[in-house]
């Protein structure tokens, strides 16, 4: 006798919101506790291009997940992992600014922090509900 496999139960929208808020809050807390707050001032020289390229790649990939991948996913169960990957990439931008770019580049650090926050905000889980029959949320 084969037990019938039930499809996985959809996570409630609250799960999406809790994870999203925890990532957003975590980045802000790390910036203030480890980074000493929001960086201010002018860059002293040119920031390393490698870190700018990494941050740009992370932002591009995260936004591609948010605006190209997630809208095409029908099942809510499959949206959660996509959201988590996108949030991790977005948070990575803040980590590159905090740990990769030196303290002598506060304007670049601030730009990366703001970019990370903007990318995380774009993942606000308004899409964490079943798709209507007409294909719209």
Helix residue ranges, H only, 34-124: 49-64, 76-95, 106-122
Contacts of 78 (CB under 8 A, 6+ apart): none
Instruction: Give CA–CA dist 72/20, Å, rounded.
Output: 20
Instruction: Give CA–CA dist 40/52, Å, rounded.
Output: 18
CA 115 to chain centre: 10
Residue ranges of the domains in the chain?
A: 49-128
Secondary structure class of 44 (helix, strand, coil) = coil
CB 8 within 8 A of CB 72: no
Higher pLDDT, 7 or 99: 99
CB 96 within 8 A of CB 54: yes
Computed over its alpha carbons, how large is the radius of gyration of the chain? 18
Supply the DSSP symbol for 109: H
pLDDT tens for residues 37-58? Answer: 999 999 999 999 999 999 999 9
Nearest to 76 by CA among 4, 6, 7: 7
Q: Inform me whether the pLDDT recorded for 83 exceeds 90.
A: yes
Q: In the prediction, which pLDDT does 66 show?
A: 97
Q: In the prediction, which pLDDT does 18 show?
A: 96
Instruction: Give CA–CA dist 119/126, Å, rounded.
Output: 14
pLDDT tens for residues 114-126? Answer: 999 999 999 999 9
């Amino acid at each position: 006798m084969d037990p019938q496999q039930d499809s996985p139960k959809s996570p409630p929208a609250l799960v999406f919101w809790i994870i999203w808020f925890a990532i957003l809050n975590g980045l802000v807390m790390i910036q203030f506790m480890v980074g000493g707050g929001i960086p201010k001032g002018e860059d002293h020289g040119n920031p390393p291009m490698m870190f700018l390229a990494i941050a740009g790649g992370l932002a591009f990939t995260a936004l591609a997940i948010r605006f190209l991948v997630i809208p095409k996913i029908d099942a809510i169960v499959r949206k959660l992992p996509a959201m988590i990957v996108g949030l991790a990439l977005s948070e990575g931008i803040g980590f590159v600014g905090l740990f990769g770019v030196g303290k002598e580049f506060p304007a670049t650090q601030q730009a990366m922090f703001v970019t990370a926050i903007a990318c995380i905000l774009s993942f606000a889980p308004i899409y964490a509900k079943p798709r209507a029959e007409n294909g719209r949320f």
